[in-house]
């Protein structure tokens, strides 16, 4: 399953340690400050000592989450040149950057790949992607996405997560609701043999989701990429080989 970041620093070309420039042997300690919560101090210390954070900065990725997608694609090979990709819950844009690098969208928008990203949070533009600032749950979001994509999607991927409440059961139900909504949309827009990727939390209620995925896709896998922190309950479900019919263009 997951490795600790110091043991398996991954990048597009292998581990971060192998790629050079990210290795750090010094552990940074953050002193508690007056008025700062203990949880904030722990978060800051974790960021300062996270090799994925440093490697993301070195490579120009907007978030360490970029390495999760890199590791998942290195394993399952779904971001192919010329593909149409929808990135749901994209901000700040780490996954979108990786998708652009790997599918190589056409500057003209014709005869090549296409990346469309959406998030309720504002996101700075990225050359090679159409970035929509809106709530995916809005009634008009599906039509806006379909129009921007300009055809059937080859990949629908979601790293969406609801704000954490601190209550594991509630947080699990919230993220599963987002995942199920993303899947409902994916079933409308995916081309045959298309791919659905989404973040889930470990728990009991994903069995309904898995049953739906196994019905509509040829292969369904769970994966926890090394860049996903070992202490986190997050995992990713990837469904390959959509059995459906391509939507009209």
199 among known catalytic residues:
yes
Q: Is the dihedral of CA 129, 118, 236, 183 positive or negative?
A: negative
Name residues whose C-beta falls within 8 Å of residue 26's C-beta, 6 or more positions apart in sequence.
none
Cα(177)–Cα(162) distance, rounded to whole angstroms? 9
Task: State yes or no: 154 annotated in a binding site.
Answer: no
Task: State yes or no: 139 annotated in a binding site.
Answer: no
Question: Strand locations in the chain, DSSP E?
Answer: 10-11, 14-15, 84-88, 114-119, 130-133, 153-158, 190-201, 217-223, 234-242
Please tell me whether residue 5 adopts helix, strand or coil conformation.
Answer: coil
Task: State yes or no: 93 annotated in a binding site.
Answer: yes
Cα(71)–Cα(202) distance, rounded to whole angstroms? 20
In order of 11, 50, 228, 247, the CA distances from 18 in angstroms are 9, 16, 19, 43
User: CA gyration radius for the chain?
Assistant: 18
C-beta of residue 222 within 8 angstroms of C-beta of residue 97: no
Task: State yes or no: 171 annotated in a binding site.
Answer: no
Task: State yes or no: 138 annotated in a binding site.
Answer: no
Q: Which is the catalytic residue, given 10, 114, 199, 224?
A: 199
Phi, psi (deg, nearest 5) at residue 207? -65, -35
Nearest residue to 212 (alpha-carbon basis) of 242, 235, 234: 242
Residues of each annotated binding site for S-adenosyl-L-methionine: 93, 95, 119, 135, 159
Q: Which residues are catalytic?
A: 199
Residues of each annotated binding site: 93, 95, 119, 135, 159
């Amino acid at each position: 399953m997951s490795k600790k970041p110091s043991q398996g620093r991954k990048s597009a070309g292998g581990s971060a340690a192998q790629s050079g420039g990210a290795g750090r042997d010094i552990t940074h300690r953050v002193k508690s400050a007056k008025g700062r919560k203990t949880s904030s101090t722990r978060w800051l210390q974790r960021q300062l000592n996270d090799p994925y954070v440093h490697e993301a900065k070195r490579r120009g990725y907007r978030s360490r989450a970029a390495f999760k997608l890199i590791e998942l694609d290195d394993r399952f090979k779904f971001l192919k040149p010329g593909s149409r990709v929808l990135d749901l819950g994209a901000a700040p844009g780490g996954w979108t950057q990786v998708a652009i690098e790997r599918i190589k969208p056409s500057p003209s928008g014709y005869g090549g790949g296409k990346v469309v990203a959406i998030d309720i949070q504002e996101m700075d533009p990225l050359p090679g992607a159409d970035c929509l600032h809106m709530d995916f749950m809005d009634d008009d979001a599906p039509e806006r996405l379909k129009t921007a994509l300009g055809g059937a999607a080859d990949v629908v991927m979601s790293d969406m997560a609801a704000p954490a409440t601190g209550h594991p059961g509630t947080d699990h139900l919230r993220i599963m609701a987002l995942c199920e909504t993303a899947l409902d949309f994916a079933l409308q827009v995916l081309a045959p043999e298309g791919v659905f990727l989404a973040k889930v939390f470990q728990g009991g209620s994903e069995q309904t989701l898995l049953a739906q995925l196994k019905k509509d896709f040829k292969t369904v896998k769970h994966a926890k990429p090394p860049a996903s922190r070992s202490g986190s309950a997050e995992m990713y479900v990837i469904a390959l080989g959509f059995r459906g019919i391509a939507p009209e263009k």
